[in-house]
Amino acid sequence: MADNTIGVGVVGFWHVHTDDYARETNEHPGTRLVAAWDPDAERGSEGAQRLGIDLAENLDALLVRPDIDAITVTTATNEHTEVIGRAITAGKHVFTEKLLAPTVTESEELVAAARAKGVALVVSLPRLSEPLITTASALVDGGALGDVTYARVRMAHDGWLGGWLPERFADPVAAIGGAFADLGCHPAYLVQRFLGTHPSAITASYGSVTDRAVEDNAVVVARYPGGALGVAEASFVTTPGAFALELRGTQASLLFGFGREELIGKGGRFGDDWTPVPLDSGAATPFGLWVDAIRGEADTSDNLQAAIDLTRFVAAANTSATSGRAAAVEQEGHA
């Protein structure tokens, strides 16, 4: 690693978070941007020029560069398996936008390949490290809510109302779905964080207010053994700032959003009235975890297991929405 920093290549300008990860690369003292590539030559040229870095002729040319130690992957979702697999084979560390891969099997194979090759693979699941979620998670894990019987997480934005979300997100092949396969990933992995990674069945209802080929509105209900319910919601056609969290337990409840942008608790240790809950400082960001893992200072097992479980959840939701029936959740091996 030249100058003791990690040289990072940008693979793909398809996703709207490409520049966010480029900014993290520039801001982190241990990483530096080197070059980029995109399967769409025009998009790649524009993106590389915008970031002020070299543009590689093809993916092989990028991966063979000795000044690139790692890559960030923001291609179309259906390209993840091939791109990440080739990067792992080349010995490059990989930070990728969710989903890790379109299927559970592909996700597990990528995780196994990365471990066999000794490269650091991390999936961007950023909400898990935010103070709001780490605080709520600690309260749930510590029993402050009793047994959690209901978890609801909603994430929404106005991407297709405001016209800023690219139309390529409406390609059902490239995007592996619509609002739920993209924005809905965050509510999905948060529901799994609070209620468990393996619901017994998932029922999904997808709608398209804008008449695109994919859903722009989604509500997914996960039923858990023992009767707990998790609700994950996503929308591309909602006014901005629509994040909401609702956790209900046998002893207490937590809320965020719903017109009050702070975490509040009621019942049990919180008392009989809704009370503000102070937030902790959060955890390492996924990008920070990746850099630490490249240096041999962090374990990515929890991140990768959460990524595989997320794929399992989304795959079941898509199956349910297509069939109109509840879908069983694949019960495969662990990462």
CATH number for the domain harbouring residue 113: 3.40.50.720
- Which of 103, 126, 149 represents a domain boundary (last residue)? 126
pLDDT in tens, 2-61: 478 999 999 999 999 999 999 999 999 999 999 999 999 999 999 999 999 999 999 999
* Together in a domain, 235 and 140: yes
Predicted confidence at residue 101, as pLDDT, reads 98
At residue 332, does pLDDT exceed 80? no
305-323: pLDDT as tens digits: 999 999 999 999 999 999 9
- From the list 61, 71, 88, 74, the residue with the least C-alpha distance to 31 is 71
> Which of the four pLDDT bands, split at 50, 70 and 90, describes residue 1?
very low
- Of 67, 100, 126, which residue constitutes the final position of a domain? 126
State the Cα–Cα distance between residues 75 and 14, nearest whole angstrom: 5
Do 154 and 116 share a structural domain? no
**Helix or strand or coil: residue 238?**
coil
Q: At what angle do helices 104-117 and 301-323 cross, to 10 degrees?
A: 160
**In this structure, are 144 and 224 located in the same domain?**
yes
pLDDT over threshold 50, residue 334: no
Q: Which positions ≥6 away from 212 have C-beta within 8 Å?
A: 160, 170, 178
- 308 and 194 Cβ atoms separated by less than 8 Å: no
Do 266 and 173 lie in one domain? The reply is: yes
Looking at the structure, tell me whether residues 240 and 101 fall in a common domain: no
Give the CA distances from residue 289 to residues 70, 251, 300, in Å, rounded to whole numbers and listed in that order.
14, 34, 7
Q: Domain range for residue 84?
A: 2-126
Q: For residues 137 and 265, state if they share a domain.
A: yes
335, pLDDT greater than 60:
no
Structural domain ending residue among the three candidates 104, 126, 148: 126
Task: Yes or no: say if 104 and 312 are a contact pair by the CB < 8 Å rule.
Answer: yes
Contacts of 251 (CB under 8 A, 6+ apart): 143, 144, 145, 146, 267, 268
Is 306 a member of any domain?
Answer: no
Residue 116 falls within a domain, yes or no? yes
pLDDT in tens, 120-146: 999 999 999 999 999 999 999 999 999
Q: Are residues 78 and 190 part of one domain?
A: no
Has residue 305 been placed in a domain? no
Q: What is the pTM of this model?
A: 0.96
pLDDT for 330: 72
Mean pLDDT for the chain?
A: 96
Q: How many domains is the chain partitioned into structurally?
A: 2
Asked whether residue 241 carries a pLDDT value surpassing 70, the answer given is no
Q: Are residues 160 and 272 in the same domain?
A: yes
186: domain CATH number is 3.30.360.10
In total, the chain counts a number of residues equal to: 335
Per DSSP, the three-state class of 110 is helix
pLDDT of 217 reads 97
Question: Quick check: is 234 in a domain?
Answer: yes
Number of neighbours of residue 97 by Cβ within 10 angstroms: 23
Query: Do 31 and 176 sit in the same domain of this protein?
Result: no
Q: Which amino acid is at 194?
A: F
Asked whether residue 294 is domain-assigned, the answer is no
- Whether 192 and 324 map to the same domain: the answer is yes
* Judgement on whether residues 92 and 40 belong to the same structural domain of the protein: yes
Distances (CA, A) of 5 to 32, 120, 133, 269, 294: 7, 15, 31, 47, 11
Q: Does 105 share its domain with 136?
A: no
pLDDT of 284 strictly over 90: yes
